[in-house]
A = this chain, B = another copy of it.
Amino acid sequence: MELLKLSNQLCFPLYALSRKITGHYLPLLDKIGLTYPQYLVMLVLWEENGLSVKELGQKLMLDSGTLSPLLKKMEDRLLLTRKRLKEDERVVIISLTETGEALKENASRIPEEIKCSLELSYQELEQMRSLATGMLDKLNQIELVRSN
């Protein structure tokens, strides 16, 4: 088999599919004024408010270089606040404002709308979700092992 063929790569369909699905989110997220990574930040904060930048970064697998400017923009839009922790001034705690909390209501229909927009079966979506989650966990595990 020709290993350097695009169609034989794992990386490419994953990369293209991820961008494609993000594309399906855009018109929906536009309505509530969020970008896709900003939406992911909100998902995390709606679940658990008051996380540090580091904790957010761990959950989303993004570093401060990505999160810092993004969170600043979201602060400007009054979705959240950034406050340094008194006990350790290095730590910045991100908390939702009322506006940010309230946005959850407006976002509540997005998961169903996406499922509809994608026109993929529940089986297919669930199979992909569990496969991707499993692979992600394994790769994160490898990183842990290699860094020790």
Contact = CB atoms under 8 A, between A and B. Distances in A.
Interface stretch (A15-23, A70-78, A81-89, A93-101): A15-23
Interface string A30-57: 0000001000100110110000000000
22 contacts: A3-B108, A3-B111, A4-B43, A4-B108, A5-B47, A6-B59, A8-B111, A8-B129, A10-B128, A12-B60, A13-B132, A14-B17, A14-B21, A15-B40, A16-B61, A17-B132, A20-B140, A119-B138, A119-B142, A120-B135, A124-B131, A131-B131
Say how many copies of this protein the assembly contains.
Answer: 2
Interface of A: 3-22, 24-25, 36, 40, 43-44, 46-47, 59-61, 104, 107-108, 110-112, 114, 118-120, 124-125, 127-129, 131-136, 138-140, 142
